[in-house]
Amino acid sequence: MSSARAIRSHALPGVLALVALAVAALPAAGRYVETIPIWTGASASAVPGGQSFTVTVEVASVPAQGGWIRVDTTHRSVLSSPSGSWPHSHYFAPGSSRFATITVGTTSVSSSTAVQIGAADQGVDTSDPNNWSCGTAVTVQPQ
């Protein structure tokens, strides 16, 4: 009897661990799936204030159900978000390309202003550039 108790007491943690692992691996309805940006590039390294430029973001993969990313900048008052406010959220539809291009506007500046533009998964606080997965730099110049 004592050997049976020993087997049960040692087997139970292993069984529970396997059950927990199996449950954790099951996708839940509406479960959050990451879309990780891996590259960001701008159509120009310098842009006159008042003009627009494009930013292209590449993600590692587009989830089967689609996924969201956030695009943000270090100078929200100098760059205009395509959605009207920063951060800008962009949706990658199921089966879409891993690349998305957005148009960013600039405001007039009195002196050259270096700005960074970066992207991260939707669940990330993009107000801190250290949280960005990737980024690029553009200088907005006076006209």
pLDDT of residue 129: 97
pLDDT of residue 34: 79
Phi, psi for residue 131 in degrees, rounded to 5: -90, -5
Domain ranges (residues) in the chain:
37-141
pLDDT of residue 35: 87
The pTM of the full predicted model, rounded to 2 decimals, is 0.76
The 10 Å Cβ neighbour count of residue 75 is 17
pLDDT of residue 76: 98
Architecture of domain 37-141: Sandwich (2.60)
- Give the DSSP per-residue string, 31-42: ------EEEEEE
pLDDT at 7 over 60: no
Q: What is the mean pLDDT of residues 87-116?
A: 97
pLDDT in tens, 16-53: 333 333 333 334 445 556 789 999 999 999 999 999 99
